[in-house]
Amino acid sequence: MAQTTANPEHEMIRKSVKSLCERFPEEYWRDLDERDAYPTGFVQALTEEGWLSVLIPEEYGGAGLGMKEAGIILEEVNRSGGNSGACHAQMYTMGALLRHGNEEQKQRFLPTIASGELRLQAFGITEPTAGSDTTSIETFAERRGDRYIVNGQKIWTSRAEHSDLMLLLARTTPKDQVKKKTDGISLFILDMKDQADKIEIRPIDTMINHATTEVFFENAEIPVGNMIGEEGKGFKYVLSGMNAERILIASESIGDGMYFIDKSVQYANERVVFNRPIGQNQGVQFPISQAYMDIQAAKLMRDKAAELFDEGVNCGEEANISKYLASEATWRAANAAMDTYGGYGFAKEYNIERKFREARLFKIAPISNNLVVSFVGQHVLGLPRSY
Protein backbone atom coordinates (compact mmCIF):
# COMPACT_ATOMS: atom_id res chain seq x y z
CA MET A 1 0.00 0.00 0.00
CA ALA A 2 1.15 3.52 -0.79
CA GLN A 3 3.12 5.38 1.86
CA THR A 4 2.78 9.13 2.29
CA THR A 5 6.03 9.87 0.58
CA ALA A 6 9.16 8.37 -0.90
CA ASN A 7 11.35 10.86 0.99
CA PRO A 8 14.26 8.70 2.32
CA GLU A 9 14.44 10.53 5.64
CA HIS A 10 10.73 9.99 6.19
CA GLU A 11 11.04 6.33 5.32
CA MET A 12 13.88 6.00 7.81
CA ILE A 13 11.70 7.60 10.52
CA ARG A 14 8.80 5.28 9.68
CA LYS A 15 11.01 2.20 9.85
CA SER A 16 12.70 3.19 13.11
CA VAL A 17 9.42 4.02 14.88
CA LYS A 18 7.85 0.85 13.53
CA SER A 19 10.71 -1.21 14.86
CA LEU A 20 10.42 0.44 18.30
CA CYS A 21 6.68 -0.27 18.30
CA GLU A 22 7.28 -3.94 17.56
CA ARG A 23 8.72 -4.19 21.07
CA PHE A 24 5.27 -3.15 22.36
CA PRO A 25 2.85 -5.53 20.66
CA GLU A 26 -0.91 -5.41 20.81
CA GLU A 27 -0.99 -7.65 23.90
CA TYR A 28 0.90 -4.88 25.72
CA TRP A 29 -1.74 -2.27 24.82
CA ARG A 30 -4.67 -4.61 25.48
CA ASP A 31 -3.35 -5.43 28.93
CA LEU A 32 -2.94 -1.72 29.76
CA ASP A 33 -6.43 -1.03 28.46
CA GLU A 34 -7.91 -3.71 30.69
CA ARG A 35 -6.08 -2.39 33.73
CA ASP A 36 -6.51 1.30 32.85
CA ALA A 37 -2.75 1.57 33.25
CA TYR A 38 -0.27 4.05 31.80
CA PRO A 39 2.21 2.85 29.13
CA THR A 40 5.28 3.92 31.13
CA GLY A 41 7.68 1.56 29.34
CA PHE A 42 6.56 2.64 25.89
CA VAL A 43 6.71 6.37 26.69
CA GLN A 44 10.17 5.85 28.17
CA ALA A 45 11.38 4.08 25.02
CA LEU A 46 9.94 6.76 22.74
CA THR A 47 11.59 9.45 24.88
CA GLU A 48 14.96 7.70 24.99
CA GLU A 49 15.05 7.36 21.22
CA GLY A 50 14.31 11.09 20.95
CA TRP A 51 11.03 10.78 19.05
CA LEU A 52 9.05 12.99 21.44
CA SER A 53 11.46 15.91 21.12
CA VAL A 54 11.72 16.13 17.34
CA LEU A 55 9.93 19.50 17.21
CA ILE A 56 12.37 21.11 19.65
CA PRO A 57 15.18 22.96 17.83
CA GLU A 58 18.66 21.45 18.04
CA GLU A 59 19.99 24.40 20.03
CA TYR A 60 17.61 23.38 22.85
CA GLY A 61 18.39 19.69 22.69
CA GLY A 62 15.78 18.42 20.23
CA ALA A 63 16.08 17.09 16.69
CA GLY A 64 14.84 20.31 15.05
CA LEU A 65 12.55 18.46 12.64
CA GLY A 66 9.19 19.63 11.32
CA MET A 67 5.52 18.87 11.65
CA LYS A 68 5.59 16.39 8.77
CA GLU A 69 8.18 14.25 10.54
CA ALA A 70 6.33 14.55 13.86
CA GLY A 71 3.14 13.45 12.12
CA ILE A 72 4.85 10.38 10.65
CA ILE A 73 6.01 9.33 14.14
CA LEU A 74 2.54 9.46 15.69
CA GLU A 75 0.97 7.90 12.62
CA GLU A 76 3.30 4.89 12.91
CA VAL A 77 2.64 4.49 16.64
CA ASN A 78 -1.11 4.31 16.06
CA ARG A 79 -0.78 2.16 12.94
CA SER A 80 1.17 -0.38 15.00
CA GLY A 81 -1.80 -0.79 17.36
CA GLY A 82 -0.49 1.62 19.99
CA ASN A 83 -2.03 4.82 21.31
CA SER A 84 -0.06 8.07 21.02
CA GLY A 85 -2.57 9.74 23.33
CA ALA A 86 -0.37 8.58 26.17
CA CYS A 87 2.31 11.10 25.29
CA HIS A 88 1.55 13.14 22.15
CA ALA A 89 1.31 16.37 24.12
CA GLN A 90 4.97 16.10 25.12
CA MET A 91 5.69 16.67 21.46
CA TYR A 92 3.70 19.84 20.76
CA THR A 93 2.67 21.53 24.01
CA MET A 94 6.10 23.13 24.27
CA GLY A 95 5.33 24.92 20.96
CA ALA A 96 3.64 27.76 22.86
CA LEU A 97 6.85 28.27 24.80
CA LEU A 98 8.99 28.01 21.69
CA ARG A 99 6.95 30.52 19.72
CA HIS A 100 5.92 32.96 22.44
CA GLY A 101 8.19 32.41 25.45
CA ASN A 102 11.26 34.52 26.20
CA GLU A 103 14.83 33.27 25.85
CA GLU A 104 15.28 32.69 29.58
CA GLN A 105 12.18 30.47 29.66
CA LYS A 106 13.31 28.53 26.60
CA GLN A 107 16.74 27.91 28.11
CA ARG A 108 15.16 26.93 31.42
CA PHE A 109 12.56 24.49 30.12
CA LEU A 110 13.22 23.25 26.61
CA PRO A 111 16.44 21.21 27.14
CA THR A 112 14.91 19.32 30.08
CA ILE A 113 11.67 18.77 28.15
CA ALA A 114 13.77 17.51 25.22
CA SER A 115 15.62 15.02 27.43
CA GLY A 116 12.35 13.87 29.02
CA GLU A 117 13.60 14.88 32.47
CA LEU A 118 10.62 17.25 32.67
CA ARG A 119 7.32 16.10 31.25
CA LEU A 120 5.09 18.84 29.85
CA GLN A 121 2.22 16.54 28.98
CA ALA A 122 -0.73 18.22 30.67
CA PHE A 123 -2.66 20.84 28.71
CA GLY A 124 -5.33 22.52 30.83
CA ILE A 125 -7.89 24.27 28.67
CA THR A 126 -11.31 22.59 28.90
CA GLU A 127 -13.56 23.44 31.83
CA PRO A 128 -16.86 21.86 32.88
CA THR A 129 -19.05 24.90 32.32
CA ALA A 130 -17.23 26.42 29.31
CA GLY A 131 -16.89 23.29 27.12
CA SER A 132 -16.06 24.19 23.53
CA ASP A 133 -16.54 27.89 24.33
CA THR A 134 -12.98 28.44 25.55
CA THR A 135 -13.33 32.17 26.15
CA SER A 136 -15.87 31.35 28.88
CA ILE A 137 -13.27 29.63 31.07
CA GLU A 138 -13.44 30.74 34.70
CA THR A 139 -10.22 29.41 36.24
CA PHE A 140 -8.64 32.61 37.46
CA ALA A 141 -5.01 33.59 37.98
CA GLU A 142 -4.74 36.67 40.19
CA ARG A 143 -1.47 38.56 40.32
CA ARG A 144 -0.09 39.07 43.83
CA GLY A 145 3.43 40.52 43.81
CA ASP A 146 5.74 38.21 41.91
CA ARG A 147 3.23 35.33 41.75
CA TYR A 148 -0.10 34.44 40.23
CA ILE A 149 -2.55 32.65 42.51
CA VAL A 150 -4.72 30.18 40.64
CA ASN A 151 -8.19 29.00 41.65
CA GLY A 152 -10.66 27.01 39.60
CA GLN A 153 -11.14 23.72 37.84
CA LYS A 154 -10.21 22.01 34.59
CA ILE A 155 -11.74 18.86 33.18
CA TRP A 156 -10.47 16.26 30.72
CA THR A 157 -6.89 17.20 31.53
CA SER A 158 -5.16 14.17 30.13
CA ARG A 159 -1.90 12.79 31.57
CA ALA A 160 -1.99 15.19 34.57
CA GLU A 161 -0.80 12.38 36.84
CA HIS A 162 2.10 11.67 34.49
CA SER A 163 3.30 15.20 33.98
CA ASP A 164 5.62 17.52 35.90
CA LEU A 165 4.34 20.68 34.25
CA MET A 166 1.01 21.88 32.95
CA LEU A 167 0.41 24.38 30.18
CA LEU A 168 -2.46 26.23 31.79
CA LEU A 169 -4.93 28.67 30.27
CA ALA A 170 -6.56 30.93 32.85
CA ARG A 171 -8.39 34.23 32.96
CA THR A 172 -6.42 37.13 34.35
CA THR A 173 -9.23 39.62 33.71
CA PRO A 174 -12.89 38.61 34.11
CA LYS A 175 -14.77 38.18 30.83
CA ASP A 176 -17.22 41.00 31.64
CA GLN A 177 -14.33 43.45 32.02
CA VAL A 178 -12.66 42.99 28.62
CA LYS A 179 -13.54 44.58 25.27
CA LYS A 180 -12.97 41.39 23.29
CA LYS A 181 -13.85 38.08 24.94
CA THR A 182 -10.56 36.61 23.67
CA ASP A 183 -8.66 39.21 25.74
CA GLY A 184 -7.83 38.82 29.41
CA ILE A 185 -6.80 35.16 29.11
CA SER A 186 -3.20 34.22 29.91
CA LEU A 187 -1.00 31.20 29.37
CA PHE A 188 1.23 29.77 32.10
CA ILE A 189 3.59 26.96 32.86
CA LEU A 190 2.47 25.53 36.17
CA ASP A 191 4.88 23.36 38.13
CA MET A 192 2.48 20.62 39.21
CA LYS A 193 4.97 18.78 41.38
CA ASP A 194 5.95 21.90 43.30
CA GLN A 195 2.29 22.82 43.83
CA ALA A 196 1.05 19.28 44.49
CA ASP A 197 -0.54 20.25 47.82
CA LYS A 198 -2.63 22.96 46.10
CA ILE A 199 -3.79 20.81 43.22
CA GLU A 200 -6.17 17.90 43.38
CA ILE A 201 -6.21 15.47 40.48
CA ARG A 202 -9.19 13.13 40.10
CA PRO A 203 -9.01 10.48 37.37
CA ILE A 204 -12.09 10.17 35.14
CA ASP A 205 -13.23 6.65 34.36
CA THR A 206 -13.50 6.77 30.55
CA MET A 207 -14.41 4.56 27.60
CA ILE A 208 -10.75 4.52 26.55
CA ASN A 209 -7.53 4.29 28.51
CA HIS A 210 -6.46 7.93 28.23
CA ALA A 211 -5.18 8.93 31.67
CA THR A 212 -7.59 11.82 31.69
CA THR A 213 -8.54 13.73 34.84
CA GLU A 214 -10.29 16.59 36.55
CA VAL A 215 -7.90 19.06 38.12
CA PHE A 216 -8.85 21.41 40.96
CA PHE A 217 -6.68 24.39 41.88
CA GLU A 218 -6.81 25.95 45.32
CA ASN A 219 -4.45 28.90 45.61
CA ALA A 220 -1.87 27.21 43.38
CA GLU A 221 1.08 29.53 42.82
CA ILE A 222 2.82 30.36 39.58
CA PRO A 223 5.87 32.66 39.54
CA VAL A 224 5.42 35.65 37.22
CA GLY A 225 8.40 34.35 35.24
CA ASN A 226 6.33 31.33 34.19
CA MET A 227 3.79 33.35 32.24
CA ILE A 228 4.23 32.91 28.50
CA GLY A 229 4.29 36.14 26.51
CA GLU A 230 2.14 39.07 27.60
CA GLU A 231 -0.61 38.96 30.17
CA GLY A 232 -4.05 38.78 28.55
CA LYS A 233 -2.82 37.49 25.18
CA GLY A 234 -2.83 33.77 26.00
CA PHE A 235 -5.79 32.87 23.82
CA LYS A 236 -3.88 33.99 20.72
CA TYR A 237 -0.84 31.91 21.74
CA VAL A 238 -2.95 28.83 22.31
CA LEU A 239 -4.66 29.21 18.93
CA SER A 240 -1.33 29.06 17.08
CA GLY A 241 -0.48 25.86 18.98
CA MET A 242 -3.86 24.36 18.17
CA ASN A 243 -2.95 24.09 14.50
CA ALA A 244 -0.01 21.87 15.50
CA GLU A 245 -2.32 19.82 17.68
CA ARG A 246 -4.89 19.38 14.88
CA ILE A 247 -2.21 18.22 12.41
CA LEU A 248 -0.78 15.71 14.88
CA ILE A 249 -4.21 14.41 15.86
CA ALA A 250 -5.00 14.02 12.16
CA SER A 251 -1.79 11.97 11.92
CA GLU A 252 -2.76 9.73 14.83
CA SER A 253 -6.17 9.28 13.29
CA ILE A 254 -4.62 8.35 9.94
CA GLY A 255 -2.47 5.82 11.79
CA ASP A 256 -5.59 4.33 13.39
CA GLY A 257 -7.28 4.27 10.01
CA MET A 258 -4.40 2.39 8.42
CA TYR A 259 -4.41 -0.02 11.37
CA PHE A 260 -8.04 -0.86 10.56
CA ILE A 261 -7.24 -1.21 6.85
CA ASP A 262 -4.20 -3.47 7.48
CA LYS A 263 -6.15 -5.70 9.83
CA SER A 264 -9.26 -5.80 7.66
CA VAL A 265 -7.32 -6.73 4.53
CA GLN A 266 -5.49 -9.50 6.35
CA TYR A 267 -8.63 -10.90 7.95
CA ALA A 268 -10.75 -10.59 4.78
CA ASN A 269 -8.12 -12.58 2.87
CA GLU A 270 -7.85 -15.29 5.54
CA ARG A 271 -11.37 -15.83 6.79
CA VAL A 272 -13.20 -18.36 4.66
CA VAL A 273 -17.01 -18.59 4.77
CA PHE A 274 -19.15 -20.24 2.11
CA ASN A 275 -15.93 -21.75 0.75
CA ARG A 276 -14.33 -18.44 -0.20
CA PRO A 277 -12.43 -15.64 1.51
CA ILE A 278 -14.93 -13.08 2.79
CA GLY A 279 -12.88 -10.34 1.03
CA GLN A 280 -14.05 -11.76 -2.28
CA ASN A 281 -17.51 -10.40 -1.50
CA GLN A 282 -17.97 -6.82 -2.65
CA GLY A 283 -20.04 -6.15 0.46
CA VAL A 284 -16.91 -6.75 2.51
CA GLN A 285 -14.27 -5.50 0.08
CA PHE A 286 -15.80 -2.17 -0.97
CA PRO A 287 -16.14 -0.54 2.47
CA ILE A 288 -12.46 -1.35 3.11
CA SER A 289 -11.38 0.11 -0.26
CA GLN A 290 -13.59 3.17 0.20
CA ALA A 291 -12.21 3.87 3.67
CA TYR A 292 -8.67 3.45 2.32
CA MET A 293 -9.32 6.05 -0.39
CA ASP A 294 -10.76 8.46 2.18
CA ILE A 295 -7.69 8.01 4.37
CA GLN A 296 -5.36 8.68 1.45
CA ALA A 297 -7.21 11.94 0.72
CA ALA A 298 -7.03 12.96 4.38
CA LYS A 299 -3.31 12.25 4.32
CA LEU A 300 -2.79 14.69 1.46
CA MET A 301 -4.56 17.42 3.40
CA ARG A 302 -2.52 16.57 6.51
CA ASP A 303 0.68 16.83 4.45
CA LYS A 304 -0.39 20.19 3.05
CA ALA A 305 -1.20 21.50 6.52
CA ALA A 306 2.14 20.26 7.86
CA GLU A 307 4.06 21.89 5.00
CA LEU A 308 2.34 25.24 5.56
CA PHE A 309 2.93 24.99 9.30
CA ASP A 310 6.64 24.34 8.75
CA GLU A 311 6.83 27.33 6.39
CA GLY A 312 5.34 29.51 9.13
CA VAL A 313 2.20 30.17 7.06
CA ASN A 314 -1.19 30.31 8.82
CA CYS A 315 -2.68 26.86 8.23
CA GLY A 316 -5.85 27.10 10.34
CA GLU A 317 -8.03 26.03 7.39
CA GLU A 318 -5.85 23.07 6.37
CA ALA A 319 -5.13 21.92 9.94
CA ASN A 320 -8.82 21.88 10.85
CA ILE A 321 -9.88 20.24 7.59
CA SER A 322 -7.22 17.54 7.93
CA LYS A 323 -8.36 16.70 11.46
CA TYR A 324 -11.96 16.50 10.25
CA LEU A 325 -11.23 14.40 7.16
CA ALA A 326 -8.88 12.05 9.02
CA SER A 327 -11.24 11.40 11.91
CA GLU A 328 -14.24 10.84 9.63
CA ALA A 329 -12.27 8.57 7.24
CA THR A 330 -10.92 6.60 10.16
CA TRP A 331 -14.34 6.19 11.67
CA ARG A 332 -15.47 4.68 8.36
CA ALA A 333 -12.42 2.39 8.44
CA ALA A 334 -13.21 1.41 12.05
CA ASN A 335 -16.73 0.40 11.07
CA ALA A 336 -15.49 -1.45 7.99
CA ALA A 337 -13.12 -3.38 10.28
CA MET A 338 -15.93 -4.20 12.71
CA ASP A 339 -18.10 -5.48 9.86
CA THR A 340 -15.20 -7.43 8.34
CA TYR A 341 -14.45 -9.16 11.63
CA GLY A 342 -18.11 -9.92 12.28
CA GLY A 343 -18.60 -11.26 15.80
CA TYR A 344 -14.86 -11.52 16.37
CA GLY A 345 -14.61 -7.74 16.23
CA PHE A 346 -16.21 -7.74 19.65
CA ALA A 347 -13.75 -10.19 21.16
CA LYS A 348 -11.10 -8.24 23.07
CA GLU A 349 -8.39 -10.61 21.96
CA TYR A 350 -8.69 -9.32 18.36
CA ASN A 351 -8.02 -5.70 19.45
CA ILE A 352 -10.52 -4.20 16.99
CA GLU A 353 -12.97 -3.16 19.70
CA ARG A 354 -10.21 -1.37 21.63
CA LYS A 355 -9.01 0.57 18.59
CA PHE A 356 -12.67 1.21 17.64
CA ARG A 357 -13.20 2.95 20.98
CA GLU A 358 -9.93 4.86 20.72
CA ALA A 359 -10.53 6.04 17.13
CA ARG A 360 -13.94 7.47 18.05
CA LEU A 361 -12.35 10.09 20.27
CA PHE A 362 -10.98 12.16 17.41
CA LYS A 363 -14.44 13.08 16.11
CA ILE A 364 -14.93 14.88 19.45
CA ALA A 365 -11.53 15.94 20.77
CA PRO A 366 -9.48 18.08 20.81
CA ILE A 367 -12.22 19.92 18.93
CA SER A 368 -15.54 18.43 17.90
CA ASN A 369 -16.12 18.05 14.19
CA ASN A 370 -19.23 20.25 14.45
CA LEU A 371 -16.99 23.08 15.55
CA VAL A 372 -14.62 22.41 12.63
CA VAL A 373 -17.53 22.63 10.21
CA SER A 374 -18.62 25.91 11.84
CA PHE A 375 -15.07 27.23 11.53
CA VAL A 376 -14.97 26.43 7.80
CA GLY A 377 -18.43 27.93 7.25
CA GLN A 378 -17.62 31.14 9.02
CA HIS A 379 -13.91 31.76 8.63
CA VAL A 380 -13.18 30.09 5.29
CA LEU A 381 -16.42 30.58 3.37
CA GLY A 382 -17.58 33.84 4.94
CA LEU A 383 -20.98 32.53 6.06
CA PRO A 384 -22.66 34.05 9.15
CA ARG A 385 -21.47 32.82 12.53
CA SER A 386 -23.79 29.96 13.38
CA TYR A 387 -23.65 30.24 17.16
Interacting residues with ligand FAD (CB under 6 A): 123-126, 131-132, 156-158, 206, 210, 212, 361, 364-368, 370-371, 374, 387
CA distance linking residue 312 with residue 326, whole number of Å: 23
| Burial tier of 96 (Cβ tally within 10 Å: 0-12, 13-18, 19+) | buried
Q: Tell me how far, at minimum, the Cβ of 16 lies from ligand FAD, in Å.
A: 27
Residue closer to ligand FAD, measured from CB, 4 or 126: 126
Burial 158-194 (b: 16+ CB within 10 A, else e): bbbbbbbbbbbbbbbeebeebeeebbbbbbbbbbbee
- Answer yes or no: are the C-beta atoms of 99 and 187 closer than 8 Å: no
Residue closer to ligand FAD, measured from CB, 55 or 288: 55
Q: Tell me how far, at minimum, the Cβ of 124 lies from ligand FAD, in Å.
A: 6
Q: Tell me how far, at minimum, the Cβ of 372 lies from ligand FAD, in Å.
A: 9
CA distance linking residue 345 with residue 352, whole number of Å: 5
Q: Tell me how far, at minimum, the Cβ of 5 lies from ligand FAD, in Å.
A: 30
Between the alpha carbon of residue 230 and those of residues 178, 180, 187, 224, the distances in Å are 15, 16, 9, 11
On the CB side of 233, CA atoms within 13 Å amount to 10
Q: Tell me how far, at minimum, the Cβ of 156 lies from ligand FAD, in Å.
A: 3
Alpha helices in 80-166 (DSSP H): 88-92, 95-100, 103-115
- Amino acid 336 reads A
Residue closer to ligand FAD, measured from CB, 316 or 366: 366
Q: Tell me how far, at minimum, the Cβ of 253 lies from ligand FAD, in Å.
A: 14
CA distance linking residue 248 with residue 136, whole number of Å: 26
Q: Tell me how far, at minimum, the Cβ of 274 lies from ligand FAD, in Å.
A: 41
Residue closer to ligand FAD, measured from CB, 7 or 135: 135
Q: Tell me how far, at minimum, the Cβ of 195 lies from ligand FAD, in Å.
A: 18
- Answer yes or no: are the C-beta atoms of 189 and 97 closer than 8 Å: yes
Between the alpha carbon of residue 324 and those of residues 5, 146, 159, 316, 320, the distances in Å are 21, 42, 24, 12, 6
Q: Tell me how far, at minimum, the Cβ of 237 lies from ligand FAD, in Å.
A: 15
Alpha helices in 116-170 (DSSP H): none
Residue closer to ligand FAD, measured from CB, 120 or 227: 120
Residue closer to ligand FAD, measured from CB, 73 or 167: 167
Residue closer to ligand FAD, measured from CB, 272 or 364: 364
- Answer yes or no: are the C-beta atoms of 150 and 140 closer than 8 Å: yes
String of DSSP letters for 188-200: EEEETTTTGGGEE
CA distance linking residue 237 with residue 230, whole number of Å: 10
Residue closer to ligand FAD, measured from CB, 80 or 90: 90
Residue showing the smallest CB distance to ligand FAD in the complex: 131
Q: Tell me how far, at minimum, the Cβ of 134 lies from ligand FAD, in Å.
A: 8
Helix orientation angle between 26-35 and 352-360, rounded to the nearest 10 degrees: 70
Residue closer to ligand FAD, measured from CB, 13 or 248: 248
Residue closer to ligand FAD, measured from CB, 13 or 249: 249
